Amino acid sequence: MKLTQVTFSFLPDLTDEQISAQVRYCISNGWAVSIEYTDDPHPRNVYWEMWDLPMFDLASPTPLMDALAACREANPGCYIRIAAFDSTKGWESLRISFIAQRPTTEPGFFMGRGYGPGRSIHYSARPYSANQPPGKRYQ
């Protein structure tokens, strides 16, 4: 399977040049840009690990792209996403988020079904990779 969270995940994986263009777009809007990574891509895993703090007041994409390279080197088997925060009143949340690295193989999710009354079913999704402890997945 291919994890299709957030934006651009139905397109071919982004090149560094394309990532850099998106970061430039974020900067031009005055957003803070951050890098996050995980080896637990469960759709409801909100808090991926932060690679350092979000970068505020960037003048160019270069520092972010350097940090991305370092994050990739340290976490070769992980999902990495780039997210941008907008502090404007009335928004104060993410404005864009997209995947900047994915593992070479993505085994996907097992869907569990627990039976409830009245034919209702309680569903759960579990990444096949979650059978391994953190750090040992996607190797």
Partner 1 sequence: MPYAQMGYWQPDYEPTDTDVIAVFRITPQTGVDAIEAAAAVAGESSTATWTVVWTDRLTACENYRAKAYRVEQVPNRDDQWFAWIAYDLDLFEPGSISNLTASIIGNVFGFKPIKALRLEDMRIPVAYLKTFNGPPTGIVVERERLDKFGRPLLGATVKPKLGLSGRNYGRVVYEALRGGLDFTKDDENINSQAFMHWRDRFLYCMEAVNRAEAATGEIKGTYLNITAATMEDMYERAEFAKELGSSVVMIDLVIGYTAIQSMSNWARRNDMILHLHRAGHSTYTRQRDHGVSFRVIAKWMRMAGVDHIHAGTVVGKLEGDPATVAGIYSTLRDEHTHQRLEHGLFFDQPWAALNKVMPVASGGIHAGQMHQLLHYLGEDVILQFGGGTIGHPDGIAAGATANRVALETMVMARNEGRDYFHEGPEILRAAARTCGPLARALETWGDVTFDYTSTDSPDFVPTSTPT
Q: How far apart are the C-alpha atoms of 32 and 30, rounded to whole Å?
A: 7
89 in contact with partner 1 (CB under 8 A): yes
119 in contact with partner 1 (CB under 8 A): yes
104 in contact with partner 1 (CB under 8 A): no
Comparing CA positions, the residue from 81, 106, 105, 64 lying closest to residue 5 is 81
* Cβ 20 to partner 1 shortest distance, Å: 10
Give the number of residues in contact with partner 1, rule: CB under 8 A: 45
Instruction: List Cβ neighbours of 14 (8 Å cut-off, separation of 6 or more).
Output: 8, 22, 98, 99, 100
Interface contacts to partner 1, rule CB under 8 A? 1-12, 18, 21-22, 25, 41-44, 46, 83, 89-98, 108-111, 116, 118-123, 125, 127
